[in-house]
Structure 1
Amino acid sequence: MQKLKLGRSDIMVTDWCLGTMTYGNQTDRADAYQQIDMALDAGINFLDTAEMYPVNPISAETVGLSETIIGEWIAKTGRRSEVVIATKVSGNNPGWVRDGRGYDGDVIRQTVDASLRRLQTDVIDLYQMHWPERGSYMFRQNWTFDPSGQDRQQTMDHMRDVLEALDDCVKAGKIRAIGMSNESAWGMTKWIDQAEALGLPRMASVQNEYSLMCRLYDTDMAEMAVNEDVTLLSFSPLACGLLTGKYQDDVPAGSRLSINGSLGGRMTPRTLPVTQVYLDLARDHGIDPVHMAMAWQATRPFLISAIFGATNVDQLAHLLAGRDVVLTDDLIAEIDAAHKANPMPY
C-alpha cells in the first residue's frame, strides 16, 4: 500500500480507499465494522461515504445510514485517528434528501453539521460535493450531454457561495479539505480559479468513475489533474463487479445487477464481450482479474486513490490479497491495446 498527498493539502491517504455505499442495506453493521477493521489492519487509511448512502437501492429512509454506521464504529473502537474520512453532500436529486433540493452555501453549513453528528467526529477530513448543481455528463449522460442551457454567471455565483460556506467550515475546524465528484475539467478549473482569486479553499480531489472499462478521465481530466495538483478518487475500479467475472454466465442473487437490472446503464450489448477481453488477459498472465484491475490504477500518469467496495468480508479478503500486485510492462501494453480495440463499452 502506497501513500499519496490529497491535492495540495497536508492529508496523506493510501492509494486504495474503502468505499462504504452498501453499509446499511447489502452490508449489515457487523460485517461493516469487520470490513473497516480489516482494511485498516491491511494498511488502508481512507474511508469514503456520503449523506445519500447506502445505495442499491437509494431511499429517503436510509439516507445517512452509512455515515451512521461509520460513526458507530468510531465510537466502538476509538480508532478515529487511524483513518481519513471523506463524505459528500448530495446535489439535485429525485427526493431522497431535502425533498430533492441540492446544495448552496446555506445547505452546506447544515449538512456538514449533520454529517459530523452521524460520523460522531469533530472533523471531516475531506468534504465533497456529490455532483455539480449545473449538471454532469457522468453516469452515461455523456452520450446525450448538452451544456447549452447552462448559465455561466449563475454557475460562478453558485461556486463562490459554496466556497465561502466551505471556508467558514474550514475556519471553524469542521473540515480539512474539499473535493468534487462527477465533475468535468472545465468545472474543476473554475472551482480552482475562483478559490485562488478569492482566497478560499482549493479543490484537493475529484471523485469520478474510472476503470479498465470506463476511461473518460484519460484526456482533459488527466491534464487538469496533473497541472492543478488534483488527486483522482476513482470509483467503480472493478466496473461495478463486471471485472470480477461474476456476470459472464449468470446474475448472482443479491448482486447489484440483480437489484437494479442494468448496473446504472453499464449493461450494453458490448459490455460482457469487452469484459471477457480483460478477463482473458488476466488469465493469460496468471493474475486474478480483480487484482489486475486494481493494480492497473497505480500505473496511470496521475495520482489515484482507488475506491473499492465489498458487499461482505469474503469479497474484501479477496481484494486485499492483491494489494501488493504490480503489473508487468507486457501486461500494461496489452491492456492499452485492448482498450484501443474496445473503447467505451458503455
Structure 2
Amino acid sequence: MKFNKLGRTDISVSQICLGTMTWGSQNSEAEAHAQMDYAVEKGVNFFDTAELYPTTPLSSETYGHTEEFIGSWFAKTGKRKDIVLATKVAGHGRSYIRGGEGADAKNIKLAVEASLKRLKTDYIDLYQIHWPNRGHFHFRQNWHYDPFKQDRAKAVANILDILEATDILVKEGKVRALGLSNETTWGIQKYLTLSEQKGLPRVASVQNEYNLLYRHFDLDLAELSHHEDVGLLAYSPLAAGILSGKYQSGVKPEGSRASINGDLGGRLQPLQEAPTKAYIEIAANHGLDPSAMALAFCLTRRFMASVIIGATTIEQLTTDLSSVDVKLSGDVLAEIEKVHRQYPMPL
C-alpha cells in the first residue's frame, strides 16, 4: 500500500480509502466492523464517511448510523489514532438534516458536534463540504446545470463563512484539515484564494466522482490539482458497481445497489452499456478482474490522492484491495484510451 499527502498538510493517507455509505442499510454493524478490520490489516489507514450516510437508500431513519458504526469500532478496537478519518457536512436540500439549510457556520458547528459524538472521537482529520449550497453539476446534474442563476456575492459570502467556521474548529482542535466534495473548478479556486487572502485554512482535497465512464476531472480540474496541490479523492471509481460487469444485459442482482436505488443515480442507462462491455472485454483479454482493472486505472492518475472503494461483502473488498498490486501494461492503457475516445462521457 502506498501513501500520499493530503494537499499541503502533513496528513498521509493510503492510496485506497475505505468508503462506508452502505453501513447501516445494506451492511450491519458487525459487517462494517469486519470490513474495517480487514482493510486495516491490508494497509488502509483512511476511512471516508458523512453525516448523511447510509445512502442505500437514503433515509431519515438511518441518518447518522454509518458514523455510529465507525464510532463503535473505535471504542472496541482503540485504533482511532491509527486512522485518518474523513466525514462531511450535508449541503443544502435534505429537509431532515437541520431543515435542509446546508453548509454555513451555524450548521457546520452543529454538524461537527453531532458527528464527533457519533464517531466517539474528539477530532476529525478531514472535514468536507458534501456539496455546495449554490448548486453544482455532479450527481448527473450536468444536463441541467445552470450557473447563470447563481448569485456571486452570496456564493462568495458562503465560502468565506465556511472558511471562518473551519478556522475556529481547527483552532479548537476538532478539525485538522478542510476538504470539498462535488465541487467545481471555480468553487475550489475561490476557497483557495479567500484562504490565502484571509489567512484561513487551505483546502486539502476534493472528493468528486471519477471512473472509466466519467473522467471530467482529467481536464481543468486536473490543472488546478497540479498547480494548487488539491488531490482528488475519487468516489464511485466503479461507477456504482457498473464496471464490475454485474449489471450487464439489464441484470440487477438481488441485494445489489441497483436493486435498491434503481438507476444508480442516473448511471444505469443505455449509453453506458457499450463502453462498459468494452472495458470488461479489455480486462478479460488481459486476464484481469474488471473491478481491479478499473480501480488500478484510477490509481495511475497523477492527481489522485486516494481512491474510495465501497463494498458490501469481504469478497468484494478483497477484489478491490487487490488493485494496488495490479500494474496495467502499456497495451491495456492504450486500449482503455481508445474506448474513452470513442465514448468520452457515457454517464
Report TM bin, short chain. over 0.9
Map 1:251-270; keep pairs closer than 5 Å: 251-270=252-271
Alpha-carbon distance, 1:98 to partner: 1.4
> Any conservation in 1 of the 2:7–2:230 contact (CA below 8 Å)?
yes
Map 1:52-63; keep pairs closer than 5 Å: 52-63=52-63
Structure-2 separation of matches of 1:198 and 1:183: 21
> Any conservation in 1 of the 2:103–2:132 contact (CA below 8 Å)?
no
Q: Indicate the residue corresponding to 1:37 in structure 2.
A: 37
Map 1:277-296; keep pairs closer than 5 Å: 277-296=278-297
- Counterpart of 2:248 in 1: which secondary structure? coil
Deviations 1:62-100 (A, max 9, x none): 111100100000000111111100000001124231122
| Range 171-180 or range 98-107, more displaced | 98-107
Say whether residues 1:120 and 2:115 are aligned partners. Answer: no
- Counterpart of 1:87 in 2: which secondary structure? strand
Structure-2 separation of matches of 1:181 and 1:259: 24
Q: Indicate the residue corresponding to 1:93 in structure 2.
A: 93
What amino acid sits opposite 2:34 in the alignment?
Q
Structure-1 separation of matches of 2:94 and 2:199: 34
Q: Indicate the residue corresponding to 2:15 in structure 1.
A: 15
Say whether residues 1:153 and 2:153 are aligned partners. Answer: yes
Structure-2 separation of matches of 1:302 and 1:222: 6
What amino acid sits opposite 2:313 in the alignment?
N
Say whether residues 1:175 and 2:158 are aligned partners. Answer: no
Q: Indicate the residue corresponding to 2:24 in structure 1.
A: 24
Structure-2 separation of matches of 1:321 and 1:163: 38
Map 1:72-83; keep pairs closer than 5 Å: 72-83=72-83
Deviations 1:114-172 (A, max 9, x none): 11111101110000000011001011111121111111111111111111110000000
What amino acid sits opposite 1:148 in the alignment?
F
Structure-1 separation of matches of 2:304 and 2:182: 17
* Percentage identity across paired residues of the two chains: 52
Structure-2 separation of matches of 1:193 and 1:240: 33
Alpha-carbon distance, 1:320 to partner: 2.2
Map 1:267-346; keep pairs closer than 5 Å: 267-346=268-347
Q: Indicate the residue corresponding to 2:190 in structure 1.
A: 190
What amino acid sits opposite 2:323 in the alignment?
G
Alpha-carbon distance, 1:248 to partner: 0.6
What amino acid sits opposite 2:282 in the alignment?
L
> Any conservation in 1 of the 2:234–2:304 contact (CA below 8 Å)?
no
Structure-1 separation of matches of 2:154 and 2:320: 44
Q: Indicate the residue corresponding to 1:221 in structure 2.
A: 221
Map 1:196-215; keep pairs closer than 5 Å: 196-215=196-215
Alpha-carbon distance, 1:42 to partner: 0.2
> Any conservation in 1 of the 2:292–2:326 contact (CA below 8 Å)?
yes
Structure-1 separation of matches of 2:321 and 2:308: 13
Structure-2 separation of matches of 1:247 and 1:304: 29
Say whether residues 1:3 and 2:23 are aligned partners. Answer: no
Alpha-carbon distance, 1:61 to partner: 1.3
- Counterpart of 2:211 in 1: which secondary structure? coil
> Any conservation in 1 of the 2:5–2:305 contact (CA below 8 Å)?
no
- Counterpart of 1:322 in 2: which secondary structure? helix
Alpha-carbon distance, 1:318 to partner: 2.3
What amino acid sits opposite 1:294 in the alignment?
L
Structure-2 separation of matches of 1:267 and 1:242: 7
- Counterpart of 1:206 in 2: which secondary structure? strand
Structure-1 separation of matches of 2:103 and 2:94: 14
What amino acid sits opposite 2:178 in the alignment?
I
Structure-1 separation of matches of 2:121 and 2:70: 10
What amino acid sits opposite 1:24 in the alignment?
G
Alpha-carbon distance, 1:317 to partner: 1.9
- Count of matched residue positions in the alignment of Structure 1 and Structure 2: 346
Structure-2 separation of matches of 1:182 and 1:96: 21
Say whether residues 1:162 and 2:154 are aligned partners. Answer: no
| Range 312-321 or range 24-33, more displaced | 312-321
Structure-2 separation of matches of 1:55 and 1:219: 29
> Any conservation in 2 of the 1:58–1:96 contact (CA below 8 Å)?
no
Alpha-carbon distance, 1:231 to partner: 1.1
- Counterpart of 1:95 in 2: which secondary structure? coil
Say whether residues 1:65 and 2:59 are aligned partners. Answer: no
Structure-1 separation of matches of 2:83 and 2:166: 22
User: TM-score, with normalisation over the residues of structure 2?
Assistant: 0.98
Alpha-carbon distance, 1:343 to partner: 1.4
> Any conservation in 2 of the 1:50–1:88 contact (CA below 8 Å)?
yes
Structure-2 separation of matches of 1:288 and 1:138: 28
- Counterpart of 2:232 in 1: which secondary structure? strand
